[in-house]
Amino acid sequence: MVRQGNIDNPPKPPLVPGFECCGIVESVGEKTKGFEIGDRVMAFVNYNAWAEVVCTPVDFVYKMPDEMTFPEAAAFSLNFVAAYMMLFEVANLREGMSVLVHSAGGGVGQAVAQLCATVPKVTVFGIASCFKHSAIKDSVTHLFDRNIDFMQEVKKISPDGVDIVLDCLSGENTGKCLSLLKPLGTYILYGASNTVTGETKSFFSFAKSWWQVEKVNPIKLYEENKVIAGFSLLNLLFKQGGCSLVKKVMDKLLCLYAQKKIRPVVDSLWALEEVKEAMQRIHDRGNIGKLILDVEKSPTPLMASDSTETSEAGEEEEEPEGDNDNKERMPFIH
């Protein structure tokens, strides 16, 4: 969405994308307390995270647990904080409730599934592309193909509907999801990936998505006892002063991680030079969990059938040696 400018007030290029990272502290400000050079940390960043060196205010930085790997840390902050705050701060998830989550195979979707498992008797309805089902079927209670009429399938199992809907798609899904809510149920929109189609920003796609959104009548909400909410962790952090609240949530999440109740799902590792291919994988909905840009990873050599890189002299370059090139793409963490 940032790449195509499908956000409010998109920054003017050139810019370095990325909102989260992890690494080792290289230097600290004079008045900075709680961190030392050499600490392993993860951090939120208001852009500029896809880089070898990142600078961010201390309020956005957290120490990594000793047992947490760097790929896990890079995949932890945004996904789990967003999932936790939507479930517990906005929707007030409690025992016995039901949750419908779109893009169940993505990073946030998998975080939602794991957090729901920490509450007794929570039913999770997941919607994902069919080819992801075998990999994620154990993380949700019921799993549906994104290309079928999920409303009818959910109502077969739960005729009264669901208590919470988490929607990162928008568009025509909005009206369907609202109709699935039980009385006192909560619908939360936290993205609009249906507006991202093709290589560049498309006014037609944006307009189509907006037009498909059912226009909400406040009186109808009042009569049906339904709640509609929006959630943007980035705006909460960088525009609305939500650092202290996010820190409390991170503390709770790190406790859950220490208890081995949650663990980030990493789809694959990519070199910075491979960012185009990595973004295409997300665009094609091919990932299960998070894609990580690893600044220490060398690009995976192309196979001879794909392409032949040549040097200026016209000779074929030899593949570089070392373990970096053998880092697996997928799956990295099961």
Q: Residue 188: phi, psi to the nearest 5?
A: -120, 120
Q: How far is CA 20 from CA 17, 151, 323, 327, in A?
A: 10, 34, 26, 22
291 or 218: which leads in pLDDT: 291
Q: What is the pLDDT of residue 199?
A: 55
- Which residue has 């909102």 as its token pair? 19
Q: What is the pLDDT of residue 198?
A: 53
pTM: 0.83
Amino acid letter, residue 194? N
Q: What is the pLDDT of residue 213?
A: 55
Q: Whole-angstrom Cα distance, residue 324 to residue 112?
A: 32
Question: Helices marked H in the chain — which ranges?
Answer: 70-74, 77-84, 107-116, 133-136, 150-157, 173-180, 203-212, 218-224, 233-238, 243-258, 275-283
Q: What is the pLDDT of residue 300?
A: 83
- Domain limits, the chain: 2-293
Helix (H) or strand (E) holding 144: strand 142-145
Rounded mean pLDDT of the chain? 84
- Which residue has 């208590």 as its token pair? 163
CB 170 within 8 A of CB 180: no
- Rounded (10°) angle between helices 77-84 and 107-116: 50
- Which residue has 């789809």 as its token pair? 267
The CATH number for 2-293, chosen from 3.40.1190.20, 3.90.480.10, 3.40.50.720, 3.20.20.140, is 3.40.50.720
DSSP for 174-190, please give it: HHHHHHHEEEEEEEEE-
